[in-house]
Structure 1
Amino acid sequence: MEAMTEEKILSFFQGCIPTDFSSRTQTQANRILRLFAKVREELLQELQKIEGAEFKLDTWKRAEAFTEDHSFLGISFVCIVHAKNPHVPAGHFNLRILVMKLNDGAEVGWYGGVMDINPSYLVPEDATHFHKTLKDMCDKHDASYYPRFKKWCDEYFFIPHRGERRGLGGIFFDNLTSEEEENFSFLESCSNTILPAYLPILKARMCDTYTDQEMVWQQFRNGRYTEFNLMHDKGMKFGLQLSGFRKETLFASLPLTASWGYKSDPEPGSREDELVQVLRCPQEWA
């Protein structure tokens, strides 16, 4: 596999934008690709320093994408971090644009995305940092964004059969029309906020010592993460139903390992229980 660079990524996708979409949509798609390639490169540079190894580019093209008639165009950027250390929260970042071609030939597009953290142990200062960073970013665009998108995130990641959220949330947004330049500006701000929101938490916790018991609890939390993704996540369901989509790409979003236990509820008043109580009743962090 080749080493990953921004130019190679852009070159790979150069011929993947359908030419039967309008020139405006093609220009917009190229701008999105350049933005996502830039933030991806910045993230990889930081993660490679932490991992101590160079990441590689694994290229793949869906055969069904190269037909003559296209009804939709989707471009997304996804970064998911599952750390071995149970004190490092899993980070999940997904930004996207979807464009639909209507029966009359008109094209409608919208932006969406999610930025959230999923810890095994509650560290209030980490939750405050993450949410405040997102709120400060949102407030520069619209003061209503953070409370709206934070609530949406808490609702989206609810696991009904568990009565709890997958994690401590963040922001979730959708249906921001691509016709408005301000909405692209917001998407760009989200892209540029991933590192300042998550990297300080990752660096602060990655060298923390941990016990076997804490590792076991992390595996239970990984189980909750897996349950949500396989049973409720709309992106996962869409990918599984999409003909010709590489399923390994979808399952790469899951933790490497997970566990389930009989009567595995945490001891009341324990650090594990402290997290669960917050997942059942979301708090305001910023």
Structure 2
Amino acid sequence: MTTPNPAPMEAEKARASAWFRTLRDDIVATFEGLEDTQTRGPFADQPAGRFDVTPTKRTADDGSDAGGGLMSVMRGGRVFEKVGVNISTVYGTLGARAQNAMAARKGLPGMKDDPRFWAAGISLVAHMQNPHTPAVHMNTRMFWTPHAWWFGGGSDLNPCIEYDADTAAFHAVQKAHCDRHSPDYYPRFKAWADEYFFIPHRGRARGVGGIFYDDHCTGDWEADFAFTQDVGRAFLPAFTGVTQTRRDTPWDAADKDAQLVHRGLYAEYNLVYDRGTKFGLETGHDANAVLMSLPPMAKWV
């Protein structure tokens, strides 16, 4: 990670925060549109799902305002069994544990002397009604400290019943958007996702991958922001294409059982290894928003 001039970057922060809100609005509208057009299957006769939107708030240790966001969750829809689309913009000072982790992992020893931070982003996890329609995760974010700034994010597909064609289609969209910025990005960030979303205690990946990147700072904020925007733009065509293909596939009790077992694997990863979960809980963000990624039902064998 390149360390740029640690300027306040207020204009850049505002632009990034506004973009994550725009992306959130587009995704929410598209997902509600999928609900409206679902006219087949066992859930077609129930009302189309809609998002419940709740403001979230982060409070500093001294009781002062430290930012917040929106938690948007849809439960029990025609297509989505549970989907959350969260945005947040938070700021303040990192606690001792987070300071030490940042200093060690990011190579920023100055965090102990000046532990201020600012972070904004969008985080999405969708768990589907039809076991043939894969779950999905996506997030993009910007992080700033007085010592460095960077972007991170990605998206990955998590089917319980795998289809090679779906995997290829999802990855093709990711690659096309990465290639707009560098031919090196897709192979590098795909390999990073394969490593990051691996579950050591199970000896397997949690899904069929995608892309993942962190600490992304070339020193050119405009270029890095443009890339992060394209990662966000890639999500809807990549995921809704697969969803349209699979959402009417007939399924039975065995398929649903396989889905619940796979969700247990997903929950294990998010609670044990996921950086975003750990950071959110350690910095005092709304626990319900942080744990939004957990499935509504899961099973362990």
AA of the residue aligned to 2:292 = A
Instruction: With the length of structure 2 as denominator, give the TM-score of the two structures.
Output: 0.74
Are residue 93 (structure 1) and residue 138 (structure 2) matched? yes
Residue 158 of structure 1: aligned partner: 198
Q: CA deviation at 1:178?
A: 7.2
Residue 256 of structure 2: aligned partner: 215
Residue 42 of structure 1: aligned partner: 26
Change (3 A) 1:178 1:48: farther
Are residue 239 (structure 1) and residue 280 (structure 2) matched? yes
Residue 145 of structure 1: aligned partner: 185
Deviations along 1:204-227, one digit per CA (max 9) or x if unpaired, are: 111211010110111110010011
**CA RMSD between the two structures:** 1.8
Are residue 225 (structure 1) and residue 260 (structure 2) matched? no
| Other structure's SS at 1:141 match | coil
| Other structure's SS at 2:297 match | coil
2:9 to 25, 30, 33: 25
Deviations along 1:68-116, one digit per CA (max 9) or x if unpaired, are: 96400010111111102110111100100000124xxxxx210000210
Runs of 4+ in 1 over 6 A off after TM superposition: none
Are residue 173 (structure 1) and residue 218 (structure 2) matched? no
Range moving further from structure 2, 63-72 or 156-165: 63-72
| Other structure's SS at 1:135 match | helix
Indicate if the aligned counterparts of 1:134 and 1:170 stay in contact, CA closer than 8 A: yes
Give 5+ residue unaligned stretches, structure 1. 1-20, 103-107, 262-286
AA of the residue aligned to 2:9 = T
Are residue 110 (structure 1) and residue 150 (structure 2) matched? yes
Range moving further from structure 2, 111-120 or 52-61: 52-61
| Other structure's SS at 2:145 match | strand
Change (3 A) 1:216 1:54: closer
Change (3 A) 1:69 1:197: closer
Residue 72 of structure 1: aligned partner: 117
Q: CA deviation at 1:251?
A: 1.6
Change (3 A) 1:99 1:86: same
Indicate if the aligned counterparts of 1:222 and 1:259 stay in contact, CA closer than 8 A: yes
Indicate if the aligned counterparts of 2:134 and 2:159 stay in contact, CA closer than 8 A: yes
Deviations along 1:142-180, one digit per CA (max 9) or x if unpaired, are: 101111100000000111111100000100011112741
| Other structure's SS at 1:58 match | strand
Q: Distance in 1 between matches of 2:298 and 2:92?
A: 42
Instruction: With the length of structure 1 as denominator, give the TM-score of the two structures.
Output: 0.78
Residue 59 of structure 2: aligned partner: 63
Q: Which has the higher helix share?
A: 1
Q: Distance in 2 between matches of 1:54 and 1:162?
A: 35
Are residue 255 (structure 1) and residue 300 (structure 2) matched? no
Percent of pairs identical after alignment? 33
| Other structure's SS at 1:82 match | strand
Indicate if the aligned counterparts of 1:178 and 1:184 stay in contact, CA closer than 8 A: no
Range moving further from structure 2, 124-133 or 26-35: 26-35
User: In the comparison of the two structures, how many residue pairs are matched?
Assistant: 234
